[in-house]
Chains A and B, each alone.
Chain A
Amino acid sequence: MTSDYSSESIRELYERNFDTLYRVCYMYMKNIQDTEDAVHNAFLKAIETRKQFESENHEKAWLIRVASNICKNMLKAACRKNEPLNDNIPDSNISNEAKELLSELSKLPDKLKIPVYLFYYDGYSSEEIGQMLHISSSAVRTRLQKAREQLRNVLGDERSVE
């Protein structure tokens, strides 16, 4: 895939990945403003570095990783500056049920969070996720299992993690 971004290619990159990055970042940032910033920075990084991608999956995996790093860095920076972190999901467009579930999702370690997203939302198989994250499919399954266990501990029901 090309690494020189024209406006059109930026648009394509954006359209392909915005929703995913938005959700991933939201799981970290839990508010719209910071989510937008993180998404913005992730795209910007891809564009500035003129990153080359071999496939759309590769592109998505890279962006997810970069976006999650950016989010963590933003959160960490906030910690260092003693800025309070917002652990709640305030946005009114999201139902209370979803907020609570998302809140628990967001508390998952990153190693678990991303596979959960890719598996449960994007519908990738563990093999595909493994390829994207450069880990084995068994590692993906292990992480998913750990995520399920953690969610069950909190949510208390199998159905919550389906």
Chain B
Amino acid sequence: MSSVMKGALNKMTIKQALDEINATSTQKQKCFERLIESTQTSYSFTSQMKRYVAAAAAVVVAAGTAGVGIHFAVTNNQGGPINVSIGNNSAADSIVTPAENKRVHSEKSGMTFVNDKTFWAQLGKITYHRIDNTPTIDAAQINAADDFDSLFCTDKQVQSEMLDLFDNAIDITNKYIVLTDSNAAVGISSDMSAQEIEKFKNNSANCFVGTGYYENERFYYADKAYFGFDTSEEFINTVSQVYTGNHSDNFTEDFYNYCPDYIQPADKNNIKSNFGINIDKDFPITELYSAHTQYCAAVYTDESHNSLILLSLTAKDGADNRKTFELRYIPMKYVDGKLRIVVEIYNTIFMDINAFSDNFMYNCGMASEIESDAKTIDITSVVGDSDSLSQPEETKAGTTVSATSTAPQTTAITTTTTTTTTTATTTTTATTTTTAASKAPTTSTTPRPAPKPSDTAKNVTLRMKGSAAYLDKGMLLYYKVDKAFLTNNEVIKIEQLKISEVPYINTNGSDYTFKSLDYGTYVIGGPMMKPTGDNGFTVFTVTEKSSNSVINVDLTNGTLSAGKFEVVGETNDFTLSDLADMYYESMEVNGKKYELCDTDTTDGWFTGAVIEDYGKGEDGCVRKIYANGNGNTLHFRINNKDYYNISDVVYREVSFSNGDKTIKCTKPYVNAEEFRKVTGEYAEDSVITVTQPVTRDNYDKFGYISIDPHKESCFITDNNNKPLKNKSLSLTYLDELDIADIKSGKAASKTDKYDRMFDIISTTGNGAVYTSMIQKETGTTNIYYGYVGAYVWNDDTDVDPNDDNNTILLYQVSSDGFKNIGTCKYGLIK
């Protein structure tokens, strides 16, 4: 920008500039008319969607024992139909594998399909208050462009298309929502042992739930038998036969052709359904959305990754006869070959509220206990255990209601079929007939079981002291052990892949309070379950006396041998090639080639750092960050529970930031062991900033020593603190990185930004700096604060100043003058 322009701009404020952006009234009106027109012609489906490469329809129908069916229907690129049906759908015209005609009720993989008609009937009747946590939902609204660059697709073209689709058609929400009590809402807690968590996950396998967005949530059941595919490869192979450039204008019509037949008669021909959960129901369905509402879904998953995006095309019908198709993403993960719901990210799971805008009927609700007017269904008892099918219906729903609608009440629900406990605050009000606070809801409910004797301490506060590395926003893992473990020879081995399953606490520099913690003995460790003190792990015990009390923990005073825990296993499951679309250049670090990351060019974030995926846990990645000399900011996604580690960042300030949450790592040579586990606080859209190393370019921000040829500026001494009298010194600027390199015996990694031997200063007979060669005639010159290397000219000898073995005096330049900090050989700085 020219100086003239600068001058002009200086007179204009941001507001004034923005004021000039104004649509004319005509323009505004035209835009409005266009909007109205669009809303009338395309209410149900996002008009921006131009192309589809991925779509498939699968319908899961849960109904009476004989009415379970699934239909998978697609159209190939020759225009002919490829219909796959599963179940006793008489209208199905099964043609192709992988899904054979068979009953949906599958008991494989521990998956249970709920075919209990009574259950669904009950589910559909349950009425809920609206749970208004909209601000939280909105807070996590994610921009696909920012956050889904790492969509893992085996087919990059498909990935690109899917990104387009996501970008334009979907409100991406909630993926990163982590609410403190959501775990409790679904029956897990942060202090569960890894085994308990795994058990819960196993029980929850093959169930996934609609998005946390406020509308149209559904139960889903994921199984290959349903969808005909359960890997990305299969999915892509399948859908590649489906869509070949259909235009959005035709999509709705086309989609009907792909949809299961039972939807079509419901919508088009208004006939009675003869299968599925809507069996014998007259169409159109007169009741508003309910648990009976059916859907189509297209699934995208990738078995090789634990971060999954599920694309859901939801077709629904309801009392308003509106046919809508919605694209949804649902984050899932693949564990041991099974799709798993990422339960903890939701605080609310419900079927639908949209159709009941007045009373917000939740046909199936699950809310965290922080909400005061929700009622909980223990879905784990519904979906997690096949044995539940044989239990009385009441126990499956596991519905519990409070006596009043005003007083929150926490209720432990223990199903008869699982050990999972759902804790939630539950209150309900019937939609029409039950409004008074004291009235019982109309929902049929399960009598509340007698509460179990408590074996959990409440509000247990750990007051820790020890290394600031752990206490200052560090991350501590804790592991419940048998007391005998403390004295026996047992060693607990944790797979590195599963390290993220180990419960953790974020010390955040202050006390940490567990809302509840089982009685027992706990070992506390640092990242990657490393001891936090030289003597080993610290142990603490929770007893009935621990409730509402403080447990003092000295992290440095370990009593349990460091060898009692071992993290094992290779962890290189993620490769940079998986993230190919994120990278476009490469660099070498320690002789290894890495791709440079540039995740957000439109924002202008600086490029020049790389992520190395160091491994992964089931909940997140373990990554190293490399930053080269020119890099200063890396803008990318940090997943919840990822581990990060700064490597090869020397004397540079590195920070993770997310909102006002920042972890700063300012130590030189951050050790590889210092992984930092990213918690919910640091999730979502994060930035790693590697502060630009101090160079001459920005020295002047900090100050300088002005050297005046006509007066003494300051004194300078050699490394023996003796004044350098009547000497000439050639100076070269160094920065913190250089100094760090030199200290470690390496050559300074100077860049071209640093002048080499840029100036020669002279000293007086008493060692005062009084002039500089360059500026001798023109006036003062500035030696900027920072570091310099100085070669002292020796007029008495004939030494080659360019000899690598020449001694260079190192100085830190500040307002205090030149402070000698050591020496090095010229070869290290040249």
Question: Could you list which residues of chain A lie within 8 angstroms of chain B, going by C-beta atoms?
Answer: 2-5, 7, 10-11, 14, 18-19, 22-23, 26-27, 32, 36, 39-41, 43-45, 47-50, 52-54, 58, 61-62, 65-66, 68-70, 72-73, 75-77, 79-80, 93-98, 100-102, 105, 107-111, 116-117, 120-121, 134-136, 138-139, 142, 154-157, 159-162
Contact = CB atoms under 8 A, between A and B. Distances in A.
B660 A156 contact: no
Contacts of B36: 7, 10
Contact of B6 (A79, A80, A157): A157
Contacts of B214: 52
A121 B39 CA distance: 30
A110 B605 CA distance: 10
A76 B42 CA distance: 24
A40 B38 contact: yes
Contacts of B34: 40
Contact of B10 (A61, A77, A116, A157): A157
A4 B356 CA distance: 11
B215 A4 contact: no
Given A48-B46, A101-B14, A134-B138, A160 B660 contact: no
B12 A40 contact: no
9 nearest A-B pairs in the assembled complex, by CB-CB distance: A134-B139, A73-B167, A139-B660, A98-B17, A136-B660, A101-B17, A69-B143, A120-B14, A135-B659
A39 B31 contact: yes
B755 interface: no
Which residue of A23, A73, A79, A102 has the most chain B CB atoms within 10 A of its CB atom? A73
Contact of A26 (B21, B38, B167, B660): B21
A5 B39 contact: yes
A131 B373 CA distance: 24
A135 B659 CA distance: 6
A11 B39 CA distance: 12
A136 B681 CA distance: 13
B141 A65 contact: yes
A48 to B, nearest CB: 6
A23 B39 contact: no
B47 interface: yes
B604 interface: yes
Given A98-B21, A135-B660, 12 more contacts: A2-B357, A58-B134, A58-B138, A65-B138, A76-B167, A98-B16, A102-B21, A109-B600, A136-B659, A155-B9, A160-B14, A162-B13
B144 interface: yes
A39 to B, nearest CB: 6
Given A4-B357, A49-B215, A66 B171 contact: yes
A46 B1 CA distance: 39
Contacts of B15: 120-121
Interface in B384-411: none
Contacts of A80: 160, 164
Nearest to B214: A52
Interface of A is mostly: helix
Contact of B35 (A4, A40, A53, A138): A40
Contacts of B5: 96-97, 100
B21 A23 contact: yes
A155 B6 contact: yes
Contacts of B18: 23, 102, 105, 117, 120-121
Contact of A44 (B47, B167, B659): B47
B816 interface: no
B509 to A, nearest CB: 16
Contacts, number: 190
A159 B39 contact: no
Contacts of A69: 141, 143-145, 167
A100 B1 contact: yes
B605 to A, nearest CB: 6
Contact of A61 (B136, B138, B167, B659): B138
Contacts of B604: 107-109
Contacts of A116: 14
Given A5-B39, A97-B9, A159-B10, A73 B145 contact: yes
A50 B354 CA distance: 8
Contacts of A98: 12, 16-17, 20-21
B601 interface: yes
B8 interface: yes
B508 to A, nearest CB: 14
Given A44-B39, A72-B145, A101 B12 contact: yes
Given A49-B215, A159-B13, A109 B659 contact: no
B146 interface: yes
Nearest to A85: B602
A109 to B, nearest CB: 4
Interface in B568-606: 600-605
18 contacts: A7-B36, A19-B23, A22-B22, A26-B21, A40-B38, A44-B35, A44-B46, A69-B143, A69-B167, A76-B145, A96-B8, A107-B604, A111-B603, A117-B18, A120-B14, A121-B18, A134-B136, A160-B10
Contacts of A136: 659-660
B27 A142 contact: no
A18 B31 CA distance: 9
Nearest to A72: B145
B43 interface: yes
B164 A77 contact: yes
Nearest to A137: B660
B247 interface: no
A22 B21 contact: yes
A97 B35 contact: no
A143 to B, nearest CB: 9
